[in-house]
Structure 1
Amino acid sequence: MFSWSHSKQTLKLPVVIIGISVSIGLIPSLFANPDHYDGDIHYYDTVGQNRQRPQQRPHPDLHVPSVPVKQDITVFSNGPTDKTAYPYIQTTINFVEGHLSFKAFLSDSSEVSYSTRGEHIRYSKCFGDICMIVSQKNLLGVSNTSTEWEKGHIFGEERYQVAMGHKAALVASERKLYIYNSYTNHWDTISLEQESLRAFANLHEKVAIITTRRILVMDLPTEMQFEQNLLLRSISQFEMRDGFINFYAGSKLWMFRHQTEAFEEVDLMD
């Protein structure tokens, strides 16, 4: 006859076997990764891909913004249509960001360094023959004819738009235009009074600037500026060529000739 005491001893055997098997199964994993429970460890799977760590709650004393920080520098986009047929432009200058410094490598293999100690870099780019950097307090430009980074100062302005040509670069705020001239390695400043920037273009030695009030053409080697009042008209499109620049405003055309360095007004309705 089956007794109760015999049944209790019989039931203990599977429990002991299961407990021993679980303990033996845990031993290899504990020895394989002794830091398995360290919160700063990154775990890798069998093919070497980094697995995403679970999100941790921030320390109560740390301020973690709930929304991403808004960018204060944007790339400028022309309002009027740019019909210029730009040639293929090869970037012949480069820079490398090091520890608290930027090193520009020119086309003749020379190096030009700039210390960024105490500055926060907000924008940097190379294109054509120039490189430009915008920090919280300086504008910096370098070209293939430079011996040092040319510094331009900016004060009390938070938001900027930037545009790059292969010989000139633009930094525009609500109050001023800052233009880097690769021929002279110099920053030119143009004030904006009751007007705003609408277009910027650079082809070879000429820069074209269109605002809501006027047209500006700059000759880079001489730094000469030529101006045409728009007479309450609005430029719809423009085109830069080797010998002239056309600015279209409805039935009217303003043509800037490089040879005469003057604007000619043409009525397209005739």
Structure 2
Amino acid sequence: MLSKRHRKQFLPWIPITLGFVLLVGLMPNLFANPDSFDGDIYYIDTVGQNRSRPPKRPHPDLHVPSVPVKQDITVFSNLPTDKTAYPYIQTTINFVEGHLSFKAFLSDGTEVSYSTRGEHIRYNKCYGDHCIIVSQKNLLGVSNTSTEWESGHFFGEERYQVAMGHKASLVASDRKLYLYNSYTNHWETISLEQETLRGFANRYDKAAIITSRRILVMDLPSETQYEQNLLLRGIYQFEMRDGFINFYSRDKLWMFRHQTEAFEEVDLTD
């Protein structure tokens, strides 16, 4: 037990002693390199109350390869309801995959071969009177009226939708439509300018394309195209028949007559 006189002598040294202890404890942090803490952030696990260190960021001088984008091809499905009564369609052409090649066998027995060396086949199918192939380099088509695989103009898009009809097939990207015509063994390129594909159908010698802005009807043997502006209306249903094609909006009907090769507008509110 300290006497009253000794306590008076000891008390002034208490603040000095505490300050010295605090200074010694803070010295490592005061002289540490601040750059060593760059990005050194801790996150608190609110479930287990455990601290976890995030993964270190790669050094800027190191090359980290990017993950390749998956090339996607899907089967296109019409948004407008398709009421077309399609006849029974028999596939009269076939192909088989050989060693670095595809061999198409036409209805008359002719064999048409295509080398796939250096190409990655993303889609291939035969239907009706023609076959198509989509690779990372080419669009290809062959039909019973051709003697070789026909290559289409290709712009290297990564995503496609594919729709096949009896006499024509459509390969649609975000920017363009590629239509294969089996009558002429030709690829037709149609640009999409601020519009999107809504529907596609092929019955006999006519192909119909519906976008968000227009209707396109193509006569396949002559490759003639007929266009109708939708005037900001949407098509909710269409139907292809022997003599005409009907495109239904809410208050209007656009009828394409095969005989006159023209669109007729009918007001459905009368």
TM-score range, shorter chain: 0.7 to 0.9
Pair member with larger Rg: 2
**Which amino acid in the other structure matches residue 90 of structure 2?**
Q
In the TM superposition, structure 1's runs of 4+ consecutive aligned residues that sit over 2 Å from their partners are: none
Q: Which runs of 5+ in 2 are unaligned?
A: 1-68
Match of 1:76 in 2: 76
1:53-68 pair list within 5 angstroms: none
**Which amino acid in the other structure matches residue 196 of structure 2?**
S
**Which amino acid in the other structure matches residue 125 of structure 1?**
K
Match of 1:249 in 2: 249
Cα offsets for 1:31-69 (capped at 9, x unmatched): xxxxxxxxxxxxxxxxxxxxxxxxxxxxxxxxxxxxxx9
2:156 and 2:94 map into 1 onto residues whose CA distance is 30
Match of 2:206 in 1: 206
Cα offsets for 1:124-156 (capped at 9, x unmatched): 000000100000010000001110000113123
CA-atom RMSD in angstroms: 1.2
Is the contact made by 1:137 and 1:153 (CA closer than 8 Å) also made in structure 2?
Answer: no
**Which amino acid in the other structure matches residue 259 of structure 2?**
Q
**Which amino acid in the other structure matches residue 261 of structure 2?**
E
- The alpha-carbon deviation at position 70 of structure 1 amounts to 4.9
1:165 and 1:156 map into 2 onto residues whose CA distance is 24
1:164 and 1:194 map into 2 onto residues whose CA distance is 24
1:116 and 1:187 map into 2 onto residues whose CA distance is 19
Identity %: 86
With the length of structure 2 as denominator, give the TM-score of the two structures: 0.74
2:142 and 2:132 map into 1 onto residues whose CA distance is 7
Cα offsets for 1:234-258 (capped at 9, x unmatched): 0000000010000000121000000
2:95 and 2:166 map into 1 onto residues whose CA distance is 15
Q: How many residues align?
A: 203
Q: Which runs of 5+ in 1 are unaligned?
A: 1-68
**Which amino acid in the other structure matches residue 85 of structure 1?**
A
With the length of structure 1 as denominator, give the TM-score of the two structures: 0.74
Match of 1:99 in 2: 99
Cα offsets for 1:206-252 (capped at 9, x unmatched): 00000000000000000000000000100000000010000000121
**Which amino acid in the other structure matches residue 113 of structure 2?**
S
2:154 and 2:109 map into 1 onto residues whose CA distance is 31
